[in-house]
Chains A and B, each alone.
Chain A
Amino acid sequence: MSATTMTRDAASDTVTAGRRPRARACALLMTPFFVLMAVVFIAPLVTAVWLSFFTQDNAGLGFGEPEQAFVGLRSYAAVFTDPTFMNSLALILVFCLVYIPVVTVGALLLALLLDTGVARLRPFLQLGLFLPHAVPGIIAAIIWLYLYTPGISPITRALAGLDLEVNFLGVSMVIPAIVNIAVWTSLGYYSVIFYAALQAVPREVLEAARVDGAGAVLTSVLVKIPMIRSSVVMVLLFSMIWTLQLFTEPMLLSQATPAINSRFSPSMYIYDAAFTRNNYGLAAAASVVLMVATMLLSYGMTRLTGRLQRQEAS
């Protein structure tokens, strides 16, 4: 490990004898993490890439060792020509286009309202808004599944009282239904991030805006939001990574509605390919595609954040 190849630290120059113990301590403190990383991160990653170039032939009724055959890019070709995989990508795109604007604008609105200074009971409000984030994903999905189920849900009953028949688990409503669960879970979390950033906006800037005659709304849009743009980009990044991994919510809802098939999202596609169809090559190729997409998006977004931060600094 490179931790052992310590270079000369300026402070330790005078105490040459203290250098080796430092190198050893540094290596010892880092070893548990990097051993773990090698076993549960690097090894699986290499395995995934390797698998995506091979197929496993379970020759003859499971007798004998399964044979590995190099197939080059055939698994990738299979993934990209599989309409169900392309559907899952399209679904994620639609999901991003609905969920990310809704949650970002909603969280910004909440944070700006909390920041106006006229909000009452702010500790209680923050607690209430943040609470869903403490609810485990599967339990959030269970709660909302029941709130969508006709007969059990007080919401559908109230809507029926208004002569509105809404089937939240129908084909046309299933994306909004999942978006709602996602928004419910993350809205308060993101608004707390924005609120923290807003509190760091220098008071003089806001004072100047007020002297110039800007009202609360104008100040929010023209002064406050630009000043917290790196937080905004970070929330965009978080919500995008989260969306790409979408799994728990559709998986649970799929128990109750035929509108969600077993290859609904890319992660569900991978699960289905690996553990239902036992096509490891296909699952590995889809995993690598999903990983590359996530990392490209993350890299692009962090570059953007870096640029924004440099702009803010200048």
Chain B
Amino acid sequence: MTTTAKPTTARPDAGAKDGPEGPESPPKPSSGAGRGRRSGPAHLERSPLLGRAIVNLVLGVFVIYTLAPVLWLFFAATSDADALSSARVFSLEDPVLWQNLRELFATDGGIYGRWYLNTILYAVVGGILSALISTACGYAFEKYRFRHREKLFGLVLVAVMVPQTVLALPLYLIASQTGAVNTFWSVFIPLLFNPFGVYLARIFAEGYVPDEVLDAARVDGAGELKMFFSVALKMLAPGVMTVFLFQLTAIWNNFFLPMVMLSDQKLYPVALGLYNWNSMATVSPEYQLVVIAGSLLGLLPLILAFMLLQRFWKAGLTAGSVK
């Protein structure tokens, strides 16, 4: 997909007016036609060859910086212990990736598979639910008028800024009062709360769902709730996807909350499991290869999601950056 096309490219006046109007156009699936507008041939002619070489060289160095560690992880996952401990992971003489993966799923009674399923459950199911909850709320903020609306929305924005570490201890105490500590729900429920998603959804509702469409549906006699589910939600689908992806990543990355809540290893997500194994690797190095293979598998879904669904991430980035 061409990544130079962005919602903001279509905003001739955006520099002058950066109000909270959100993305002008929904990210269209086929919007690959737009090229960076200053990349015309006239511009190229003006640039001296040397300048062009330096620009590309600097960019190249930065891309090596960002990509090399991930590549190292991949090669390390295909190495055996000798290659790893002698820092010679880049030789591809006899890759042992399968052997490492088999080892990964055999260590500690195959608990890694369990962690992986847990993570998918926390992140995918949680992400979908969270996206729907946030979208419904953001849509209602945008499309209905009521007293103290902006004050209530301000409260949602305040919630975005409160660090998660601040809430962890009281959440733990509340969970232990209600007997929820060390259960699936103690991690699953708090991670459904996504105030930033409400903020994004409000912007998307403003941009994607014209009031006229809702009024027309009302004239046709549609109920308000049915209207949300059958009319608005379809128009908001790209926005829901964006909110979902942000929350998926946030839950997949989350480490603090499970660490506070969970003592039963069987409930761990991958992040916490790898953290534990890595602490064992400091005393028994045979865990090193398992941690490396587990890390590689642990980041693959997110990288795939990011590569396949780029336009949704970018819609969120650009919407978030024009607040």
Which residues of A are at the interface with B, using a C-beta cutoff of 8 A? 2-7, 9, 11, 15, 18, 21-26, 28-30, 32-34, 36-37, 39-41, 43-45, 47-48, 51, 106, 109-110, 113-120, 122-140, 142-147, 151-154, 156-157, 184, 187-189, 192-193, 196-197, 199-203, 205-206, 216, 227-228, 230-231, 234, 241, 244-245, 247-248, 251-252, 255-256, 266-267, 270-271, 274-275, 280, 283-284, 287-288, 290-291, 294-295, 298, 305, 309, 312-313
> Which chain B residues (296-317) contact chain A, with CB distance < 8 Å?
298-299, 302-303, 305-307, 310, 313-314, 317
**Among the listed B144, B170, B253, which residue makes an inter-chain contact with A26, where contact means beta carbons less than 8 Å apart?**
B144
Please give, as numbers and ranges, the residues of chain A lying within 8 Å of B92 by CB-CB distance: none
Pick 28 A–B contacts, CB within 8 A, sort by A: A25-B227, A26-B224, A29-B140, A30-B141, A32-B136, A33-B133, A40-B167, A44-B171, A117-B44, A120-B56, A129-B62, A138-B275, A139-B295, A139-B298, A143-B295, A151-B86, A152-B85, A197-B8, A200-B15, A241-B161, A245-B163, A245-B164, A245-B165, A267-B256, A280-B173, A287-B166, A291-B166, A313-B18
Interface centre among B167, B174, B228, B260 (most CB of A within 10 A): B167
Verify B137–A294 contact, CB threshold 8 A: no
- A129 and B65 alpha carbons, distance in the complex (Å): 9
Assess whether B321 is interfacial by the CB under 8 Å rule.
Answer: yes
| Segment of B69-77, B93-101, B103-111, B234-242 engaged in the interface with chain A | B69-77
Verify B137–A32 contact, CB threshold 8 A: yes
Question: Smallest distance from the beta carbon of A105 to chain B beta carbons, Å?
Answer: 13
- A311 and B245 alpha carbons, distance in the complex (Å): 34
Question: Smallest distance from the beta carbon of A294 to chain B beta carbons, Å?
Answer: 6
Please give, as numbers and ranges, the residues of chain A lying within 8 Å of B213 by CB-CB distance: none
Verify A33–B198 contact, CB threshold 8 A: yes
Please give, as numbers and ranges, the residues of chain A lying within 8 Å of B167 by CB-CB distance: 40-41, 44-45, 48, 287
Please give, as numbers and ranges, the residues of chain B lying within 8 Å of A32 by CB-CB distance: 133, 136-137
**Among the listed A24, A26, A184, A309, which residue makes an inter-chain contact with B66, where contact means beta carbons less than 8 Å apart?**
A184
Verify B162–A110 contact, CB threshold 8 A: no
- A284 and B169 alpha carbons, distance in the complex (Å): 7
**Among the listed B59, B224, B314, which residue makes an inter-chain contact with A113, where contact means beta carbons less than 8 Å apart?**
B59
Question: Smallest distance from the beta carbon of B26 to chain A beta carbons, Å?
Answer: 16
Please give, as numbers and ranges, the residues of chain A lying within 8 Å of B317 by CB-CB distance: 189, 192-193, 196
Verify A5–B189 contact, CB threshold 8 A: no
> In the complex, what residue of chain A is closest to B302 when comparing beta carbons?
A134
- A26 and B69 alpha carbons, distance in the complex (Å): 48
Verify A196–B6 contact, CB threshold 8 A: yes
Report, as a range, how many residues of chain B touch the other chain. Answer: 35 or more
Question: Smallest distance from the beta carbon of B68 to chain A beta carbons, Å?
Answer: 9
**Among the listed B136, B161, B227, B271, which residue makes an inter-chain contact with A298, where contact means beta carbons less than 8 Å apart?**
B161
Question: Smallest distance from the beta carbon of A177 to chain B beta carbons, Å?
Answer: 13
Verify A26–B140 contact, CB threshold 8 A: yes
Question: Smallest distance from the beta carbon of B140 to chain A beta carbons, Å?
Answer: 4
Which 4 pairs of residues, A with B, have the shortest CB-CB distance?
Answer: A25-B224, A200-B14, A47-B170, A44-B170
Verify B145–A7 contact, CB threshold 8 A: yes
Assess whether B51 is interfacial by the CB under 8 Å rule.
Answer: yes
Verify B59–A114 contact, CB threshold 8 A: yes
Assess whether B265 is interfacial by the CB under 8 Å rule.
Answer: no
Please give, as numbers and ranges, the residues of chain B lying within 8 Å of A271 by CB-CB distance: 165, 168, 256, 260
Please give, as numbers and ranges, the residues of chain A lying within 8 Å of B275 by CB-CB distance: 138, 251-252
**Among the listed B3, B11, B170, B249, which residue makes an inter-chain contact with A127, where contact means beta carbons less than 8 Å apart?**
B3
- A230 and B248 alpha carbons, distance in the complex (Å): 28
Please give, as numbers and ranges, the residues of chain B lying within 8 Å of A113 by CB-CB distance: 55, 58-59
Provide the main secondary structure of the chain A interface: helix
Verify A151–B73 contact, CB threshold 8 A: no
Verify A312–B295 contact, CB threshold 8 A: no
Verify B63–A143 contact, CB threshold 8 A: no
Verify B165–A117 contact, CB threshold 8 A: no
Please give, as numbers and ranges, the residues of chain B lying within 8 Å of A313 by CB-CB distance: 16-19
Please give, as numbers and ranges, the residues of chain A lying within 8 Å of B255 by CB-CB distance: 137-138, 248
> In the complex, what residue of chain B is closest to A150 when comparing beta carbons?
B87
**Among the listed A132, A138, A206, which residue makes an inter-chain contact with B70, where contact means beta carbons less than 8 Å apart?**
A132
**Among the listed B63, B140, B148, B156, which residue makes an inter-chain contact with A129, where contact means beta carbons less than 8 Å apart?**
B63
Verify B87–A9 contact, CB threshold 8 A: no
- A205 and B13 alpha carbons, distance in the complex (Å): 11
User: Given the interface contacts A110-B59, A126-B3, A143-B73, does A30 sit within 8 Å of B140 by beta carbon?
Assistant: yes
Please give, as numbers and ranges, the residues of chain B lying within 8 Å of A255 by CB-CB distance: 278-279, 282
Verify A270–B147 contact, CB threshold 8 A: no
> In the complex, what residue of chain A is closest to B56 when comparing beta carbons?
A120
Interface centre among A25, A45, A193 (most CB of B within 10 A): A25
Question: Smallest distance from the beta carbon of A300 to chain B beta carbons, Å?
Answer: 12
Question: Smallest distance from the beta carbon of A298 to chain B beta carbons, Å?
Answer: 4
User: Given the interface contacts A144-B69, A188-B66, does A206 sit within 8 Å of B16 by beta carbon?
Assistant: no
